[in-house]
Structure 1
Amino acid sequence: METLLNHQLIQVTMDVYHNYLLPASSLLAQQIEDPDILGQIQDAWWNFIDSGQVWALLIGVFFGYTFKGFTG
């Protein structure tokens, strides 16, 4: 009886860990199409600059810091 209980406990534990690790294993199994990580970061940065989003960030930081000074 005790070995059956231990076997069931081990099975339940393995099922929980399998379901928990399944998303991580599928992430690790992806194929990388463009391995140039630094080039992708550089392209994303220049897109951030060219699209004008950097100005929105700077304006938001300025007004956020200013309003923070008003509230406390």
Structure 2
Amino acid sequence: MSHYSDLISQLYWQLPVNLTALAQTITDPNVLGQIQKFWSHFIQTGQVWALLIGLVIGYMIRNLTSYG
């Protein structure tokens, strides 16, 4: 396993610098505003109900299919 990780690390460090992501362009730095906009859209479109129903059904299926 050590040989494999050594090979991967050698291949990674031989990549040209322009292929690695060094920085990102931030177009809207208002992170809290983005979270608030996402949450209000999530509530208005009814996706929160789909999430809750999916969690309940998934929990029930997990309990029905678990052994012991």
Q: Which band: TM-score by shorter chain?
A: 0.5 to 0.7
Give the gaps of 5 or more residues in structure 2.
Answer: 1-9
Give the Cα separation in 2 of the matches to 1:64 and 1:20: 45
* Aligned counterpart in structure 2 of residue 17 of structure 1, from 8, 13, 24: 13
Q: CA deviation at 1:69?
A: 1.0
Aligned residue runs from structure 1 range 44-55, under 5 A: 44-55=38-49
In proportion to residue count, which structure has more helix? Answer: 1
* Aligned-pair identity (%): 46
RMSD: 2.3
Tell me which structure has the larger Cα radius of gyration. Answer: 1
Q: How many residues align?
A: 56
* Amino acid in the other structure paired with 1:63: I
Q: CA deviation at 1:34?
A: 1.2
* Aligned counterpart in structure 2 of residue 41 of structure 1, from 32, 35, 38: 35
Do the aligned partners of residues 16 and 53 (structure 1) sit closer, same or farther apart at CA in structure 2, a change above 3 Å counting? same
Give the Cα separation in 2 of the matches to 1:51 and 1:24: 35
Give the gaps of 5 or more residues in structure 1.
Answer: 1-12
